[in-house]
């Protein structure tokens, strides 16, 4: 049985929260100052982790009163996101949704992406932000794209990768993607049976939300 976790980083959180539902998760982890926004929006996580340099006194008090599991991790050998991925509570998780990974420092965003990529064969990651949803797809995996005809799709090779795109306006067959190319950015899905197959490496598949 799949077990889904939500990890909330201290980035752009508030606009992304309406895109997820509390009842979809068996585990919610707030990373450092993310607890401030979560509590303000009426969300109580199961775990609070970090060095707490950006956690308000009030948020810490509320978390303790709500019996949130508080884990102080002051060491700087790993990022707070990497520490969250090493928690005992997450070892039986199969699917991880991530919010708050964008909207602030670009180096933090990229650091989170590469930390997730390193474990993409262990967890199924979704990165949810106000503009769209990203999926990390490791080598040997295939991502079907149902009900996405006419939508845009970008495929970013965060490491050297071999990728095939079926059901796209600009298809690819065992193409080497080590970054960006014309066919991998803002491609258009043209088939109900579109799919992305990654033979080698790992890619971020990003589906922008349709503008209303």
Question: Tens digits of per-residue pLDDT, 96-153?
Answer: 999 998 766 777 778 788 888 888 888 999 999 988 999 999 999 999 999 999 999 9
Query: Which residue, 102, 64, 63, 101, is CA-closest to 81?
Result: 101
Domain ranges of the chain: 4-130, 137-208
Tokens 């959180």 — which residue?
A: 13
What's the pLDDT tens digit per position in 35-92? 999 999 999 999 999 989 899 999 999 999 999 999 998 877 788 888 898 888 888 9
Close Cβ partners of 38 (under 8 Å, ≥ 6 residues apart): 8, 13, 30, 44, 45
Task: Enter the tokens of residue 44.
Answer: 């109580």
Report whether 148 contacts 132 (CB < 8 A). Answer: no
Pick the CATH number of 137-208 from 2.40.50.140, 3.30.1130.10, 3.20.20.70, 2.60.120.320: 2.60.120.320
What's the pLDDT tens digit per position in 164-206? 999 999 999 999 987 655 568 899 999 999 999 999 999 999 9
Q: What CATH architecture applies to the domain 4-130?
A: 3-Layer(aba) Sandwich (3.40)
pLDDT of residue 80: 83
Report whether 56 contacts 64 (CB < 8 A). Answer: no
Report whether 93 contacts 3 (CB < 8 A). Answer: yes
Q: In the chain, where does DSSP find H-type helix?
A: 34-40, 57-65, 80-85, 106-117
Q: How many residues does the chain have?
A: 212
Q: Which residues pair with 141 in a beta bridge?
A: 198
């Amino acid at each position: 049985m799949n077990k889904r976790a939500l990890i909330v980083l201290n980035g752009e959180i508030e606009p992304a929260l309406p895109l997820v539902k509390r009842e979809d998760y068996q585990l919610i982890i707030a990373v450092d100052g993310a607890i401030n926004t979560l509590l303000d929006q009426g969300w109580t996580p199961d775990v609070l982790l970090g060095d707490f340099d950006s956690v308000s006194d009030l948020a810490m008090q509320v978390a303790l009163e709500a019996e949130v599991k508080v884990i102080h991790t002051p060491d700087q050998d790993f990022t707070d996101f990497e520490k969250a991925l090493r928690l005992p509570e997450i070892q039986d998780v199969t699917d991880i949704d991530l919010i708050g990974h964008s909207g602030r420092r670009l180096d933090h965003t990229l650091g989170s992406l590469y930390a997730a990529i390193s474990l993409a064969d262990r967890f199924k990651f979704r990165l949810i932000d106000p503009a769209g949803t990203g999926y990390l797809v490791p080598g040997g995996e295939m991502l079907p794209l149902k009900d996405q005809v006419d939508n845009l799709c970008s495929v970013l090779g965060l490491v050297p990768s071999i990728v095939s795109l079926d059901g796209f306006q600009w298809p690819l067959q065992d193409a080497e993607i080590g970054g960006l190319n014309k066919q991998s950015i803002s491609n258009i899905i043209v088939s109900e049976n579109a799919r992305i197959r990654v033979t080698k490496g790992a890619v971020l598949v990003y589906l922008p939300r349709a503008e209303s």
